[in-house]
Structure 1
């Protein structure tokens, strides 16, 4: 690991933000700050005390590039024979030149040499459908693009024994591997005098080509390599050896340049080559969201899901006259060589003068290449200040950064569904082709999942509601693929067959969200039959005699959930979600005139809620059980959603949150389980997806500062670690990437901080479809002021509030065609509320119609369109 990587992954968090590409994330990674946006954090935000905040005040937090052509901001490093690497930052002037001499032919074992591995991984088909084998003989066949792969993940040692037909004098050997299976620690033994003799030992290796020199030359016909550890890229740890050469051959460093785009971006990379030597020199492009997992291969390619021709990098053969190459999926010139994977989500790009052995002679790993420019054709939603239809700002700099970091993360996953760019696991669907969707992640999965829409949809509606069709397209498509028994698929993956137990419930809730924010009654009416079928046919088929959902009934024991957890039986999370979905469905039913269904579903929701409290509340712990059977544990998902769905009363809510505080609190968020009985490390794993309902539960339980603390631990950790700005799919033990290189570092389901800050801290949200009715109920905590706008079909709903001394002011600007209520943060005792020169509340009682004490707050209802300003003062 290089010093750069260690710095980028260190525990230090720097709170400096750049408005453009390359600000906070560079500081967070311990890298030089670039660009004009770096002073953002040093400039105090002027709040309502100084008058309304100008529109431009929030512009400096916006993270998207200014145009669809995105260029790198920094050279991370170069290696080998590279001239003027910095020229890549200034296209149109000097060029960057990479040179590599033609390598000599590698040494070969004599004919008749054999190799035997301790185990051999089973073969499979690559992305081209051709069979692949991984037997040990590949290690001596002279072909660098074949390899031996053992079959004992993490179960070391692995041994490879090479036997020559006659004794050779060996002074060393060379182990050539692959970046996703490099032997890191291994020994070499030679068969001498009828016994094995150790002749070399290697530790801490990271080189794909490792020359191993023996202590002294030996005469032997057999050598044995014993591997005790291999490189872990987060997708399984196996030993992989492509070739063993009978001499120690030091590699010639392949010339390379590593570029930094400043933050995660997504789209088609483009490289302009000024010229090249006449031997078809190849370049290989490797991409990564983090420096930690940028090696000679990408941290992830879509071919990684199913094998294929990319071999971890994207290839191009540079013509002598130069060319401008846009990285699109497929082979060069329609042949079967020089393959590129196309669209990528990444922050770092490594360009190397190299070629796959299988690409010869179409591409050669040597020669000269002159590069003039590198850029990216950005494909996702371009969230510039002019495109924002909702915004947020408050007195807390960190919260502002997290809000706009969430928006940018979500913008990266709002993209067109294209066959070449989706996840390859049977995810392409002609019914989605060419439509705007909400993908799972910028890097992976490039497929829309409905559970992700539960968070990403709300983030979209609050920032760029002009793209709300991205959510509708996903929800409608899944509804149209409903199974005959009522089950709704979670995504198009595996031709709409991936069996998840909880995601049909999220489809119901997401459908209500879509109707609530947009007012699209046509959607509600068109897909109402699917709503009825999933709630009245599918879920009753997996309901037990207590009225609770029970995974395992009706053949569902193999079904997964959002985290593919091995949970079975009565689970609080599933049933709290069921209550939430039933109540959301009732709202849809009322909206489209099916009042009887609404009443029936509300009654069932109440019954399920009572059953949860009867069978799944753990009195001893003061929290809801994860499962009614097996080891005792308590999960963040079930406890949080039990509160937000109304299953828990105020006493149980306070108790459950106290239990989570005592058992799940980590420096990088709150873990999603309170112990490791479900799987090892569960109590160290943080999901922003399930943290979002806990934020909401804390705010709405009167624990605003506790919610803000959890937000800062969770999002502060992600912002302060490579790649910065964007929000991770999951955080693992000690704040690591929970699935290594495979982890998505820009994931829409992790953006819940944005709706939490808008709906709970600022306090504004819709309560009837299309914002025909709205509510402003701020949970302020220690934040001094906040303001923002929510986009509605009728125009912006503007809100600003401020606490100053004993005075609290709240201003609401309501668009035409809407009505609403405000709930001021006071229990009414010792408080006076005035508006427009009128006294509304004094001496603990109402002084005007429509003003009452409700849920511990002075509430003013029946507010018409226009501007309303309230002043609350406390006596004494």
Structure 2
């Protein structure tokens, strides 16, 4: 994804002191810059990088605040600490509701077909469920958001009503509806309700009515991840007052992931139920979790249940039933907010009751993800810009949340469980969902891992190897284990190639490369040629791929720029693997094919009227961030087209919360308002490497600043939608590894250090400072740490590199567009016109120093004029 193109002149102001500090930082000898280093704004000194680390101090994580409480709750703050006072929730037993006379019937405009519940038992959704006296059954319409949905209840004789009460499900609450009564000849509106959110809603009439029939007409429903449904459990003939369920919401301060644990001190002897609802944001916190695994496997209550014994309990929320087919919990959750309510599902009676008393001693989480502490960071980053520092460590934490053991009980329930990954460390896509290792996500999260916690690099290898082991006979490689490795994505086999090179490049694991080289040959020489058209371009639709998706399941077909420039990158990366393994003929063949595809892309997919690459030659004219950015980073776009394309994206896709991934809405409504950090990452790389460091930093601050400043804070979202909202509402993963590209871009591009051959045997350092005054960092390598620090000023640029033994590299320093002298370790390497050492040469506003050996080297750049 990254090929340097060169950077133009930069000018900035000196902040800070001499090169001794830079040398210590680069060598990795100091965890933080000493007092004479460049000060962080407003503090007078540079902060220790350790203070930016977001991971918890240990596996037991406790909430930091009580966000809300309601109903009869005593001492809610006691939940924050174990021992001493307890939090008590109390709820009186219910008053029996009124019942319709015997012989009452119900009919509906539609009813959902029967299916099996989450416990496997059959259930129906007929209208009669609304008058059967069983609050655990309900009528469910079958119109998927088409209105009105009508429920009609008919009694055998006239009844006098002062109103009715609608009891619904939390995932099917009618929002807008009318209640009508029948006078024997016509229907009359007795009440109108708008904006309802209550599960139990008393609806009074303006005056008592004698009637044989009541009709509820629903015209709006609140919607759920499964769609818009009306669900009415009971329509009671009278007004039933609601007794507020006691509830406490605790805030863990940021998104966490693992198994919730609640210590109950005691309870009343009627098995009072407790329901737990989880959410990553306050916006989607309700009586129902923002996401539950059952949402993807037939639906469920959306909360975890527990019946508290009278003697109390130390309960860890794990997947399964507490009683025989009753009182179910889902176990692991990713969330920030936890809502605890004294309540029970009607269907869980008598194992759990919705009333009584419960005393809670404490709440905590058994954190399951990678525990990132300062001592586990093999790589780090620090700069003069506090925002960038926070975003780097927030990305590290986001990725840590997605680095976890693959467990059948916790992964995507859509047939993603696989024995070949069970118990292994993997890179999931998100903490909350989907919790399945997708190879496209690893294109970003893998690099984040290699630059932070090198000991976790096996998480990427485990996934890459497993997907290769499940390669289809025709060469196609699955994107993930979901649906038994059959999810048809067109682009992800390309990401497998690129991710494999990344893994080898950062770790030096050539054994992996040799073991899976046959898979590489098969995907590039068998499957992708089968979807290549007569013009030499990948064309989705060939070889029965019309229904294949991609990273965003976009409905695009034919010659798509994104697929083809990704193909160029994959071919180039495969050639590097081939050369590393001693297969020059394969490398040459793939290099030639990459050049041919490059020519075809530039011939058929460039739009001169926009100065950008088309998204596709099929359908409406639009221009994508993905294709245009990777056209630059893969080298498909030459300098002129690279600059034009990036200028176009800046003018057409700029939003307050990042750059949109499409320039118009022709692919779907709202596309031009949607931002993916996944596709923003290559754009950021492209901007840095084409001399647009300032615009890259501006985009970082809009995108990552928006996520940092909006709930849940810290972690990086799966996607951003119109007005900066989570792009798929409550379903959105708010801690997603594919959105952590700010970390590798700050290390590889802004700081400027990266590997050039497997295992950092050779490396390069090419800073792109932009508006940043100084930066320092360390990259983990198999040979030991590679340390880099630099300080940029109007009159000098100072750089220190500490390279591990047995490695060599290339150092490129900016000249600011002026004639400069370059000294290495106090000796002149470039006089301003000619080389004195390191085969120094001037190139596009830089001076390049070749074949720099191991050890600590200090480079100073000073203008001659």
TM-score (norm: length of structure 2): 0.94
Unaligned runs of 5+ in 2: 1-31
- Give the aligned partner of residue 3 of structure 2: none
2:507 pairs with 1:518: yes
- Alignment partner of 2:80 out of 75, 89, 92: 89
2:301 pairs with 1:311: yes
2:664 pairs with 1:675: yes
2:578 pairs with 1:597: no
Report if the CA contact (8 A) 1:828-1:853 is conserved.
no
- Give the aligned partner of residue 337 of structure 2: 348
- Give the aligned partner of residue 358 of structure 2: 369
- Give the aligned partner of residue 150 of structure 1: 141
- Alignment partner of 1:180 out of 145, 167, 171: 171
Cα shift readout 1:783-816 (whole Å, capped 9, x = no counterpart): 1010000011111100000113311100000011
- Give the aligned partner of residue 528 of structure 1: 517
Q: What is the distance in 2 between the residues matched to 1:708 and 1:124?
A: 52
Q: 1:62 to 1:47 in 2, by over 3 A?
A: farther
**1:124: Cα distance to partner?**
3.3
- Give the match's secondary structure for 1:799: strand
Q: 1:84 to 1:206 in 2, by over 3 A?
A: same
**1:505: Cα distance to partner?**
0.4
**1:714: Cα distance to partner?**
0.6
- Give the aligned partner of residue 26 of structure 2: none
Report if the CA contact (8 A) 1:70-1:376 is conserved.
yes
Q: RMSD of the alignment, in Å?
A: 1.7
Task: Map residues 257-406 of structure 1 onto 2, 5 A cutoff.
Answer: 257-307=248-298, 311-332=301-322, 335-406=324-395
Report if the CA contact (8 A) 1:704-1:779 is conserved.
yes
- Give the match's secondary structure for 1:419: coil
- Give the match's secondary structure for 2:358: strand
Task: Map residues 90-489 of structure 1 onto 2, 5 A cutoff.
Answer: 90-307=81-298, 311-332=301-322, 335-489=324-478
- Give the aligned partner of residue 703 of structure 2: 714
- Give the aligned partner of residue 579 of structure 1: 568
Report if the CA contact (8 A) 2:37-2:46 is conserved.
no
**1:145: Cα distance to partner?**
2.2
Report if the CA contact (8 A) 2:37-2:45 is conserved.
no
Report if the CA contact (8 A) 2:625-2:649 is conserved.
yes
Q: What is the distance in 2 between the residues matched to 1:168 and 1:713?
A: 62
- Give the aligned partner of residue 18 of structure 2: none
Q: 1:170 to 1:285 in 2, by over 3 A?
A: same
Cα shift readout 1:239-294 (whole Å, capped 9, x = no counterpart): 22222111111210011110000000000000000001111111011100011111
Report if the CA contact (8 A) 1:828-1:845 is conserved.
no
**1:238: Cα distance to partner?**
2.2
- Give the match's secondary structure for 1:657: helix
Cα shift readout 1:455-505 (whole Å, capped 9, x = no counterpart): 000000000010100000000000000000000000000000000000000
- Give the aligned partner of residue 55 of structure 2: 64
- Give the aligned partner of residue 824 of structure 1: 813
Q: What is the distance in 1 between the residues matched to 2:691 and 2:131?
A: 68
- Give the aligned partner of residue 528 of structure 2: 539
**1:307: Cα distance to partner?**
2.4
Q: What is the distance in 2 between the residues matched to 1:672 and 1:198?
A: 48
Report if the CA contact (8 A) 1:48-1:800 is conserved.
no
- Give the aligned partner of residue 611 of structure 2: 622
Task: Map residues 791-810 of structure 1 onto 2, 5 A cutoff.
Answer: 791-810=780-799
- Give the aligned partner of residue 38 of structure 1: none
- Give the match's secondary structure for 2:563: helix
Aligned length: 831
Q: What is the distance in 2 between the residues matched to 1:292 and 1:232?
A: 15
- Give the aligned partner of residue 80 of structure 1: 71
Report if the CA contact (8 A) 1:489-1:503 is conserved.
yes
**1:451: Cα distance to partner?**
0.5
Between stretches 855-864 and 650-659, larger displacement belongs to 855-864
**1:152: Cα distance to partner?**
2.7
Q: What is the distance in 1 between the residues matched to 2:573 and 2:216?
A: 61
- Give the aligned partner of residue 29 of structure 1: none
Q: 1:763 to 1:555 in 2, by over 3 A?
A: same
Q: 1:600 to 1:472 in 2, by over 3 A?
A: same
Cα shift readout 1:519-557 (whole Å, capped 9, x = no counterpart): 001100000000000000000000000010000000100
TM-score (norm: length of structure 1): 0.93
- Give the match's secondary structure for 1:190: strand
- Give the aligned partner of residue 17 of structure 1: none
Cα shift readout 1:142-197 (whole Å, capped 9, x = no counterpart): 22222222233333322222222221101111111122221111111111251111
- Alignment partner of 2:856 out of 839, 862, 867: 867
Report if the CA contact (8 A) 2:246-2:341 is conserved.
yes
- Give the match's secondary structure for 2:599: helix
2:684 pairs with 1:695: yes
Cα shift readout 1:358-378 (whole Å, capped 9, x = no counterpart): 111111111111100100000
**1:49: Cα distance to partner?**
4.3
Cα shift readout 1:75-107 (whole Å, capped 9, x = no counterpart): 011111111111111210100111111112222
Q: What is the distance in 1 between the residues matched to 2:435 and 2:134?
A: 33
**1:116: Cα distance to partner?**
2.2
Q: What is the distance in 2 between the residues matched to 1:235 and 1:677?
A: 25
- Give the aligned partner of residue 25 of structure 1: none
**1:231: Cα distance to partner?**
1.1
Q: What is the distance in 2 between the residues matched to 1:47 and 1:475?
A: 45
Report if the CA contact (8 A) 1:447-1:492 is conserved.
yes
Report if the CA contact (8 A) 1:413-1:747 is conserved.
yes
Report if the CA contact (8 A) 2:824-2:860 is conserved.
yes
- Give the aligned partner of residue 12 of structure 1: none
Which structure is richer in relative contact order (CA contacts within 8 A, separation 6 or more)?
2
Q: 1:557 to 1:123 in 2, by over 3 A?
A: farther
**1:235: Cα distance to partner?**
4.2
**1:841: Cα distance to partner?**
1.5
Q: What is the distance in 2 between the residues matched to 1:166 and 1:216?
A: 20
Q: What is the distance in 2 between the residues matched to 1:326 and 1:432?
A: 25
Q: 1:45 to 1:446 in 2, by over 3 A?
A: farther
2:634 pairs with 1:645: yes
**1:229: Cα distance to partner?**
1.5
Q: 1:459 to 1:90 in 2, by over 3 A?
A: same
Task: Map residues 723-872 of structure 1 onto 2, 5 A cutoff.
Answer: 723-826=712-815, 829-872=818-861
Q: 1:131 to 1:552 in 2, by over 3 A?
A: farther
**1:842: Cα distance to partner?**
2.3
Q: What is the distance in 1 between the residues matched to 2:731 and 2:824?
A: 55
- Alignment partner of 2:601 out of 609, 612, 615: 612
Report if the CA contact (8 A) 1:95-1:372 is conserved.
yes
Q: What is the distance in 1 between the residues matched to 2:114 and 2:488?
A: 26
- Give the match's secondary structure for 1:338: strand
**1:844: Cα distance to partner?**
3.2
Q: What is the distance in 2 between the residues matched to 1:765 and 1:455?
A: 15
- Give the match's secondary structure for 2:262: strand
